[in-house]
Amino acid sequence: MRALLPVLTVLAAIVALWYAGAVWMNSQWSYDQAARAGVEVSLTEVVAETMHQDRPVLPAPHQVLAGLWEGLFGQKITSKRSLVYHGWVTLEATLLGFVIGTGLGILLAVGIVHNRAMDLSVMPWAIASQTIPILAIAPMVIVVLASLGVTGLLPKSIISAYLSFFPVVVGMVKGLRSPDAMQLDLMRTYGAGAWPVFWKLRLPASMPFLFASLKVSAAASLVGAIVGELPAGAVAGLGARLLSGSYYGQTVQIWAALLAAAMLAAALVIAIGAIERVTLRRMGMAR
Amino acid sequence: MTWLWGALLFWLAAWAFNAWLAGRARARGRVVTLFIPALFGITLLVLWEGVVRGLNVPSVILPAPSAIWARILGALPTLGEDFVQTILKGALGGYLIGCCAAVLTAILIDRSPFLQRGLMPVGNFVAALPVVGIAPILVMWFGFDWQSKAAVVVVMVFFPVLVNTIAGLAASERMQRDLMATWGASYGQTLLKLRLPAAMPFIFNGLKIATTLALIGAIVAEFFGSPVKGMGFRISTSVGQLALDMVWAEIAVAALAGSAFYGLVALIEKGVTFWHPSQRARG
């Protein structure tokens, strides 16, 4: 809690800067309007005016919050204008992709740890693929799958899965290898085969690593789902909200969708953190 | 069908060879650690080619590697133009600005523990957000050309580098800082001669993460509007025309550029942080 005051100060500074930016960036339009109408405006009038334009260049924080509130609670959650609806569409794809990606990642990590040939041949590519802007293939995956007749949730989830896959592989390999030689030797003196060593030593030892990479991959799979909604005219989801906002110049809508996405990401990471704490405590590994 | 069976056979043979090599290569030399992944990559390409030809997969779904290669050779000028627009101007420009700004900010707030305690959680939080979403806004502000892409990249790389640099500046030990103090070193001298060098492994960690983010930011930002060149533009329009060989050609270029970019930063890191345990030759 020692960090509470500094964090609040920083947040307050950000909000203040935001307001200043809103005044600065929106005033141009106000001056133009006034010049066109042939009236003089005072500075205070301009400042007041920049706070509630319809299509501001940079909406003021309270406008974004109002937009967010309107989107979350202003209508029925089944409405096409509700952020709850769009957020749910995105969350569905995110969660499905997260589960697929994490499952495959853990399986591949187990294979890598137990098979030397796989380790030597797959691992360098897993690391190299991290340096490749994977998101660039997102539109292609969507279109190709659509041409195969697969639409809806799955294509987006595949992109999410792809993004959340590699953090899990790398983290799990590290985690499954984390028991040291002494512990492995002890298991051998007990006469344990590969199977018990895996279930009773390697898997429990990898849990802290797994949760650390789960947090990264949850955030990554949300990014994947949002980007997956950008191309090919998706009609629902936070990404589609961003895109339509940018087409029609609805800046408040973009910022509200962005804020909703941020809240979703934070909720995912916090949820995983909570599961992590409970799990590690029950396993007696809490620090 | 011969293509399919041939590819499968090649795959099995390569797999057996790799397993044999990995099993007996106890004294694994440099050649083996390079050869095994290389063979695996070639196997994937052969399998891809074989499956596409053997099953007659239409090229609008998955073009064969040979077709992609032919397209790369055929469209070199276009690919070069896109490369300059997206990678050199958008990604690299934004990367340099964002990383410099982040390191400078970290050094500036380094003197105030209060600001550090406040910025670290905020920075960590922002680093986990889907920052790409800010792309449409920045495209609106800075126009369609590369400046808006660079701006997206700046925002995307700023926080990871900032957080890592702050952590790095705290990495020097008490004892070392006390030693600098006994020598009567000023704040600036301590910073230049002890704390920045000690922070380098952390800073480079952030810089390496940022290379990938920079390319992603530059390409994705082009989906929201761009002039009629650039890799993101080409990908989204080629997808619309179902010219998938062009899309794959762009992806190959992006992959190559991404790896090269990462490799370059890693190489610089090797030169700068030669003293760090992770960089010293094992042996």
Q: The domain that contains B100 carries what CATH number? A: 1.10.3720.10
Under DSSP, the state recorded for A135 is G
**B61:A243 CB<8 A:** no
B161/B90 same-domain check:
yes
Run of H or E including B8: helix B2-24
Q: CA torsion sign, A258 to A261 to A267 to A270?
A: negative
Count the domains in chain B.
2
**A222:B114 CB<8 A:** no
Tell me how close the Cα of B7 comes to any Cα of chain A, in angstroms: 18
Q: B94 vs A80, which has greater pLDDT?
A: B94
Residues B140-175: tens digit of each pLDDT = 888 888 888 899 899 888 988 988 888 888 888 888
Whether B278 maps to a domain, the answer reads no
- Whole-structure pTM value: 0.79
Q: A125 vs B193, which has greater pLDDT?
A: B193
Does A116 reach chain B within 8 Å, measured CB to CB? yes
* DSSP assignment string, B101-169: HHHHHHHHHTT-HHHHHHHHHHHHHHHTS-GGGGHHHHHHHH-SSHHHHHHHHHHHHHHHHHHHHHHHH
**B119:A130 CB<8 A:** no
pLDDT band with cut points at 50, 70 and 90 for residue A132: low
pLDDT, position B212:
82
What residues contact A140, with CB distance under 8 A and at least 6 apart? Answer: B235, B239, B244, B247, B248, B251
pLDDT, position B97:
94
**B239:A231 CB<8 A:** yes
B7/B119 same-domain check:
no
Reported ipTM: 0.73
Amino acid at the residue B151: A
Average pLDDT over residues B223-245: 81
CB distance A255 to A64 below 8 Å: yes
B203/B238 same-domain check:
yes
B165/B262 same-domain check:
yes
d(CA B146, CA B230): 9
d(CA A6, CA A197): 46
pLDDT, position A178:
85
Containing structural domain, residue B8: 2-57
Paired tokens of B82: 């896109």
B9/B90 same-domain check:
no
Residues B58-108: tens digit of each pLDDT = 877 788 888 889 888 888 888 888 888 888 888 899 999 999 999 999 888
B148/B219 same-domain check:
yes
Does A268 reach chain B within 8 Å, measured CB to CB? no
B47/B163 same-domain check:
no
B104/B206 same-domain check:
yes
Residues A161-212: tens digit of each pLDDT = 888 888 888 888 888 888 888 888 999 999 888 888 888 888 888 888 888 8
CB distance B103 to B206 below 8 Å: no
Q: B205 vs B21, which has greater pLDDT?
A: B205
CA distances from B161 to A90, A271, B72, B197 (A): 28, 26, 34, 16
Query: Which residue is it, tokens 């057996």?
Result: B16
Query: Which residue is it, tokens 């690593």?
Result: A209
B186/B127 same-domain check:
yes
Lowest mean pLDDT among A92-101, A228-237, B129-138, B189-198: A228-237
pLDDT band with cut points at 50, 70 and 90 for residue B283: very low
Question: Contacts of residue A91 in chain B, CB cutoff 8 Å?
Answer: none
